[in-house]
Structure 1
């Protein structure tokens, strides 16, 4: 049966749509950090001079001198000199060939204009992929997919427009992270679940599980003696004008933020299951209803904890290969800062995953048996 928008669905969708549009115009406070005189435009590489390259092992250092035709912006059609400075890091450096497109940053100075490469041009493909994802989601999930897409956009905007600027401005990361997670949980719970008992159960179950995860993260992070600098760009951030940031608290907040999506997923699974059970058997006993939810939770938790492990460790495949290739003993491997940080991330997140199952089942039992219909 195809799901349709109800009046409540339209109300909550309209509210979050307005919030998303408003967030687009919220200044982060860091707009002036970049020069207003600089242009970032798509360009086509016309020629490449690699004579300055020096090969050091598997990397190259030196400068690649390019000529590039600007394909957009106020100086479209002009050809300028472009510098591609190699740093000797494979994860950062890119080499360009004639005919390829790149993002170029430059300040216009007539015939003496010089630009700098900012990576192969990928923005158009990113937009196409995002649009295809949105269309596919709506085709498969219908109105629910449209609401899920809206919650996806809301999550991206509230993180970029509110959470990150607040962290950079030195605000206490803990209350900021909790408020952001609460807003994200509300968006997913009520947009996907609707202004219903199912949405309410999802919100209470997932948010209580996340608070539990937050407490565990702070309890164990101090014992692990892990500094927040284990995260990519953390040290660079300190050298970039933000030396007073407490990276350790930011790292700890990141633990429960990272697992929030999986926790909301599990809470929604249990809430939806208990909603269907109550719809089919409205006379079901309170404890029997809770036990049914717990059985659903047991099945889902068994797969979701593994999913969490794969989600966290998948991005570190090459690091795992490096340590194994060096013959690093397991005791040394697990005691390393970066590995210990991931162990903390995975296990604390999994604790929250497991906790949300009984919390959601108990919440559903109370809501469906002792509350009036929402």
Structure 2
């Protein structure tokens, strides 16, 4: 299956597909050799995740889009959107009193031999940041790329027109990518949702279970970060890609 995925990526994407494979490898290495070891040593989960996410964003976008104003535009949009998603998740999750013990794996961390005192709430929010990163990066890169193409096709376009063009593209992407995040998180909770439905659990009671509430916060915080990345990317692109009228 992995070989098939790699072959399809190279066959369809060519050089861009090869770059995508490279960035996928970098992401895996960053998580395996930077993020997880730092967390297991007891470093602050949110700070570590923000730093690793920023590094992944810079390397991925620079590899795919090159070192350019387009790449810088997408990087600024992505990091801003992910930070907004993380802040919203932190604020709402704290207000909702999410514990971070929504899964058995989280509870099992209490008994690991390293005897680390994890802050499970911050660990939960760091997972939300990582979960939103891919979708936000996709949106920011799509908007930045489209704006660059517009400037190449219409060299005399004004900053205002370029901004509106970026926003229009962003709105189209937003309609599908918001669904992507929500459906992805819903898919992971389908067995539990079916269990609640089988026993006739009221909706208000269902969403107040820690696991379900966590998935709801993940989905909507990530979607808000994704939405916020669109105007930030468009505004940044209108300044960087068209520095003067």
TM-score in terms of structure 1 length? 0.64
How far apart, CA to CA, are the structure 2 residues paired with 1:278 and 1:232? 51
Residue 233 (structure 1) aligned with residue 111 (structure 2) = no
CA distances 1:113-155 after superposition (whole Å, capped 9, x unpaired): xxxxxxxxxxxxxxxx222211210110111110111000110
**Which residue of structure 2 aligns with residue 103 of structure 1?**
none
SS at match of 1:233: helix
Q: How many residues align?
A: 243
Instruction: Judge conservation of contact 2:84–2:225 (CA < 8 Å) in 1.
Output: yes
How far apart, CA to CA, are the structure 1 residues paired with 2:27 and 2:176? 25
How far apart, CA to CA, are the structure 1 residues paired with 2:162 and 2:23? 29
Deviation at 1:259, TM superposition (A): 0.7
Which aligned runs of 4 or more in structure 1 are off by greater than 2 angstroms? none
Deviation at 1:231, TM superposition (A): 3.1
**Which residue of structure 1 aligns with residue 54 of structure 2?**
182
Instruction: Judge conservation of contact 1:231–1:251 (CA < 8 Å) in 2.
Output: no
Residue 315 (structure 1) aligned with residue 188 (structure 2) = yes
Higher relative contact order (CA 8 A, sep 6+): 2
How far apart, CA to CA, are the structure 1 residues paired with 2:42 and 2:78? 28
Deviation at 1:198, TM superposition (A): 1.6
Select the structure that is richer in helix.
2
Query: Using a 3 Å threshold, how does the CA distance of structure 1 residues 232 and 193 change in structure 2: closer, same or farther?
Result: farther
**Which residue of structure 2 aligns with residue 150 of structure 1?**
22
Equivalent residue runs for 1:1-374 within 5 Å: 129-241=1-113, 242-370=115-243
CA distances 1:238-282 after superposition (whole Å, capped 9, x unpaired): 112335111110101111110100000001110111011000001
Deviation at 1:160, TM superposition (A): 0.8
How far apart, CA to CA, are the structure 2 residues paired with 1:277 and 1:355? 22
SS at match of 2:242: helix
Show structure 2 runs of 5+ residues with no match.
none
